[in-house]
């Protein structure tokens, strides 16, 4: 028997056979799948085969199967093999829907025993390293990625329904921008030039607003050379939309509506759990002022120029670690994450960020120390980020130059001066709002780490 034939004659999935059981009772059908169990019983064998749609029992009796084929099955078929089975459906004495085999064919022989210990394996690193075994043995893991498909399709359909055009922009960039993160670097042989792998989708999409598009979005992979933890990976899928002639209030309303639709489509309701906390999404997301909460938690008034030394002193007194190269903006951010953010459990919009932590957001006309930015936060996690886009090329250049000073002082995550982007702004960009989220939101909804919700996350080699 050829153990690796080029095709199978399967004409029903296991799920279809179970669902249409009564209609198929008198029909000879062909099923296929991976052998999940084997129970020889004298002159017969019971087994279960599984495909993506489900698991069904098969029954082989040496009276109904050619003797040579029966012996081949008994002597050679093991758990993990893929087989094709021809026969008719019936119910056993225990009322289990079963296919009684008349013939069978090996369609994918496994040569490495399936490790049954995976049923109880607790080594997360090993499960992630050999994810195919995790998927093979655990239906719950497969279900994660069915739901992840729903997650991205919900976002795509929602934005298309609201008039946004989906686009694809380059992964390789001469200057990385749109976020504060250390990039990966690579070399393009054909152009004989070094490129960075993008850390954000932002600057390319905003160039499209300059070009005349009014509603655009992209779902794509971004790369950040940072640490791994429950909420961070080096490569992950992100979504950003940009909406010309719209303001921050319109952006928040659309983002709130999007989040509620995502949660409902994945869970069937509006309540999730994260690290032991119940999160209720069926509310009007309140606004929380950054400056007000920062002063409440630290005693520091950001509306006055809190000097760098005062911020360092406060971090020291709170036991917050920081890099000596951190400038004022980075110090504010690291203190905020250990104080203010720890109190934000139910969904809310954090607004009114300091200008030092938002180099791409428009200034608040009522307070030049603030920007028109909003972050969607729940469960102490930042799940979405948006702002009224900075479209003043002079102000943008000045912000980039301030970031470059931080880079020169040793901050590898500070943004670079992107002359091409500034030049694009000089041709004129309309007022706009932008918003972005990543697959961190999906992991949050499922109460899992980001690594668990990535099919093949990066892991150390053995």
Q: Is residue 148 located within the same domain as residue 285?
A: yes
Q: Is residue 212 located within the same domain as residue 68?
A: no
Residue range 253-267: average pLDDT? 98
How far is residue 197 from each of residues 167, 171, 182, 450, measured CA to CA in Å? 18, 6, 10, 20
Q: Is residue 103 located within the same domain as residue 231?
A: no
Query: Is 2 within the bounds of a domain?
Result: no
Query: Is 4 within the bounds of a domain?
Result: no
Average pLDDT over all residues of the chain = 93
Query: Is 122 within the bounds of a domain?
Result: no
The dihedral region occupied by 299, where left means phi > 0, alpha psi between -120 and 50, and beta the remainder, is left
- Predicted confidence at residue 116, as pLDDT, reads 67
Q: Quick check: 36 pLDDT over 90? A: yes
Q: Is residue 312 located within the same domain as residue 432?
A: yes
| Structural domain boundaries enclosing 30 | 14-114
Query: Is 131 within the bounds of a domain?
Result: no
Q: Could you give the number of structural domains in the chain? A: 2
Query: Is 232 within the bounds of a domain?
Result: yes
E strand or H helix that includes residue 35: strand 29-41
Digit-coded pLDDT (tens) for 208-232: 999 999 999 999 999 999 888 888 8
Q: Is residue 443 located within the same domain as residue 336?
A: yes
Domain boundary among the residues 57, 84, 114 is at: 114
Q: Give the 3-state secondary structure percentages of the chain, helix then strand then coil, rounded to 5.
A: 35, 30, 35
Domain boundary among the residues 114, 145, 164 is at: 114
Q: Is residue 242 located within the same domain as residue 390?
A: yes
- Predicted confidence at residue 137, as pLDDT, reads 84
Report yes or no: 289 and 303 within 8 Å, Cβ to Cβ.
Answer: no
Instruction: State the CATH number of the domain containing residue 106.
Output: 2.40.50.140
Strand 97-108 and strand 82-91: the pairing is antiparallel
End-to-end CA, the chain: 37
Q: Quick check: 122 pLDDT over 70? A: no
Query: Is 128 within the bounds of a domain?
Result: no
Instruction: State the CATH number of the domain containing residue 178.
Output: 3.30.930.10
Digit-coded pLDDT (tens) for 346-369: 999 999 999 988 888 899 999 989
- Predicted confidence at residue 242, as pLDDT, reads 98
Residue range 285-298: average pLDDT? 97
How far is residue 177 from each of residues 206, 223, 340, 403, 426, measured CA to CA in Å? 12, 12, 27, 11, 18
Continuous H helices in 269-408: 290-298, 308-318, 328-338, 393-408
Residue range 49-58: average pLDDT? 96
Residue range 275-282: average pLDDT? 96
Q: Is residue 237 located within the same domain as residue 384?
A: yes
Report yes or no: 340 and 293 within 8 Å, Cβ to Cβ.
Answer: yes
CA atoms within 13 A on the CB side of 314: 22
Say how far apart CA 79 and CA 300 lie, in whole Å: 64
Query: Is 360 within the bounds of a domain?
Result: yes
Domain boundary among the residues 114, 145, 168 is at: 114
Query: Is 125 within the bounds of a domain?
Result: no
Say how far apart CA 212 and CA 203 lie, in whole Å: 15
């Amino acid at each position: 028997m050829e153990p690796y034939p080029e095709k199978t004659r399967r004409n029903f999935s296991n799920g279809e056979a179970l669902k249409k059981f009564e209609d198929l009772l008198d029909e000879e059908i062909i099923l296929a799948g991976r052998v999940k169990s084997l129970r020889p019983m004298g002159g017969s064998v019971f087994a279960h085969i599984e495909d993506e749609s489900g698991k069904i029992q098969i029954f082989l009796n040496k009276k109904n199967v050619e003797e040579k084929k029966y012996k081949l099955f008994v002597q050679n078929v093991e758990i993990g093999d893929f087989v094709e089975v021809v026969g008719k459906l019936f119910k056993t004495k225990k009322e289990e829907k079963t296919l009684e085999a008349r013939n069978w064919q090996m369609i994918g022989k496994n040569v490495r025993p399936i490790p049954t210990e995976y049923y109880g394996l607790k080594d997360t690193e090993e499960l992630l390293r050999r994810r195919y075994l995790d998927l093979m043995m655990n239906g719950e893991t497969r279900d994660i990625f069915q739901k992840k498909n729903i997650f991205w399709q919900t976002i795509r359909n929602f934005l298309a329904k609201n008039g946004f055009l989906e686009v694809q922009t380059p992964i390789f960039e001469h200057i990385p921008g749109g976020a504060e993160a250390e990039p990966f670097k690579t070399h393009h042989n054909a152009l004989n030039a070094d490129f960075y792998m993008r850390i954000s989708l932002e600057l390319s999409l905003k160039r499209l607003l300059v070009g005349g598009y009014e509603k655009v979005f992209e779902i794509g992979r971004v790369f950040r050379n940072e640490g791994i933890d429950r909420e961070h990976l080096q490569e992950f899928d992100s979504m950003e939309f940009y909406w010309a002639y719209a303001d921050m209030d319109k952006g928040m309303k659309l983002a709130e509506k999007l989040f509620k639709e995502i949660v409902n489509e994945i869970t069937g309701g509006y309540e999730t759990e994260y690290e032991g906390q119940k999160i209720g999404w069926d509310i009007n997301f309140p606004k929380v002022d950054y400056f007000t909460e920062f002063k409440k938690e630290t005693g520091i008034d950001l509306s006055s120029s809190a000097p760098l030394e005062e911020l360092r002193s406060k971090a020291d007194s709170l036991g917050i670690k920081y890099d000596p190269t951190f400038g004022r903006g980075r110090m504010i951010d690291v203190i905020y994450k250990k104080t203010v953010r720890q109190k934000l459990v139910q969904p809310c919009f954090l607004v009114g960020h300091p200008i030092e932590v938002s180099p791409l957001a428009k200034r608040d006309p009522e307070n030049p120390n603030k920007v028109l930015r909003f972050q969607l936060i729940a469960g102490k996690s930042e799940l979405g980020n948006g702002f009224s886009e900075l479209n003043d090329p002079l102000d943008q250049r000045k912000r980039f130059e301030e970031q470059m000073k931080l880079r020169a002082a040793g901050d590898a995550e500070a943004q670079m001066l992107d002359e091409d982007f500034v030049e694009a702004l000089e041709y004129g960009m309309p007022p706009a709002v932008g918003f972005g989220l990543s697959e961190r939101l999906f992991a949050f909804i499922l109460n899992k780490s980001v690594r668990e919700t990535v099919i093949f996350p990066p892991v150390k080699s053995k």
